[in-house]
Amino acid sequence: MDRCVVLVDAGYLLGAAASLLAGEPARSRISVDHATLIQGLRERAEAETERPLLRIYWFDGAPDRVPQPEHRRLRVMPRVTVRLGALTRSDGRWAQKGVDAAMHAELTELARNRACSDIVLVTGDGDLLPGLMSAKEHGVAVHLWAVQAADGDYNQSEDLVAEADERRVLDRAWITRAVRAKDLAGACAPVSEPRPEIAAILSAPLPETAAAAAAGAVSGISGVSGDLAPGRNGATRPGTAPARGAGGPGRTPAG
C-alpha cells in the first residue's frame, strides 16, 4: 500500500542528539519536546516519501519494560506505537536489550505483509541490516535517517548506509526544534550574594588601607579634643603633643 511507516530507535536518536548538543550521549543532558519531535518526524517522512503516514513506531528501553513518563505521553499520541525493550545497567552504563530484535521483527513483518510502500529507519545499528535487506526484497523502499554527527563523521553502520535506498541527515537546525541541551552549570552555580562571614572577609580593608584609615581617624580626633601622644609600650595619652587647630594638619588656625 502507498503509505509510509517510521521506525525510530529512540536510544540512537536521543543519544546522538545529546552528543551533538551537549557533547556526550547521556540523554539526561537534554530536554525533549516529544509532541514537536513526533510532528516533525511525521511531516518530514510524508514530504520525503510523498506518502501519507501509516504509523510511527517508537522503540526504546525501560527498566523492567515498565513505561516511563515519556513513554506514557508518546503512546497516547495519534499514529504512535511504543515498543519497549529492557534497560539494564552494566559496568556503570545503561544498555538496551531486545530493542534491535523488536525493530527487526517489525520491519520484516511490515514488508512481508506489504503494509506500506516506504519505511523510514531512524537508527545507526548494523544489527538491522538483515531486516533492511528483507524489506527491500519485498519491494519496500527503505529510507535511512541519521542525526548529524557531533564530529562531522558517520554515526551509523556503514553497511546500513550502503544498503539503504535513500539517506538523509537530521541536522542541528532540525533537531533543535524539539531538543535542547540542559543548562546543568546554572543549576550548580553559587548564589550571587556570599554568606555574611565571607562578605565580611571580602569587604575588610587591606593592611595598608587599614593603617591609613587609623591614622586619619587619630588626626580627626586630635582636632576636636586634643592630640594623642604615644606613651609607654606604644599606648597613647592626651595632651602631650603640640596643639593643632581644628583644621587638622597642614592648616593654620585663624588668628
Q: What are the cell numbers at 126?
A: 548494523
Instruction: Check residue 162 and give its pLDDT.
Output: 96
Residue 232 is given by DSSP the state G
pLDDT for residue 225: 43
User: Rounded distance, CA 159 to CA 126, Å?
Assistant: 7
Inter-residue contact 61 to 221 (CB < 8 Å): no
- Tell me the pairing of strands 228-230 and 53-62: unpaired
What is the maximum span of the chain, computed from C-alpha positions, in angstroms?
Answer: 118
Cβ pair 85, 65 in contact under 8 A: yes
Matching CATH number, 4-183, of 3.40.50.1860, 3.60.15.30, 3.60.15.10, 3.40.50.1010: 3.40.50.1010
**Residues 53, 15 contacting (CB under 8 angstroms):** no
User: What are the sequence ranges of the domains in the chain?
Assistant: 4-183, 196-238
Mind listing the pLDDT tens digit of every residue in the chain (255 residues)? 799 999 999 999 999 999 999 999 999 999 999 999 999 999 999 999 999 999 999 999 999 999 999 999 999 999 999 999 998 887 777 788 889 999 999 999 999 999 999 999 999 999 999 999 999 999 999 999 999 999 888 899 999 999 999 999 999 999 999 999 998 665 444 444 445 555 555 555 555 555 555 555 545 544 444 444 444 444 444 444 444 444 444 444 444
- CA–CA dist 252, 255 (Å, integer): 9
Q: Are 4 and 51 in contact (CB under 8 A)?
A: yes
Cα gap 61→169, rounded to integer Å: 24
Gap between the Cα atoms of 222 and 24, Å rounded: 69
Amino acid at 181: A
pLDDT of residue 96: 82
Q: Looking at residue 97, what is its pLDDT?
A: 86
Strand partners, 9: 59
pLDDT at position 89? 80
Please give the pLDDT value at position 5: 98
- Strand runs (DSSP E) across the chain, as ranges? 4-9, 30-32, 53-62, 80-90, 93-97, 118-122, 141-147, 166-170, 179-181, 228-230, 236-238
Distances (CA, A) of 157 to 25, 178, 208: 17, 25, 68
How far, in Å, CA of 80 to CA of 17, rounded? 21
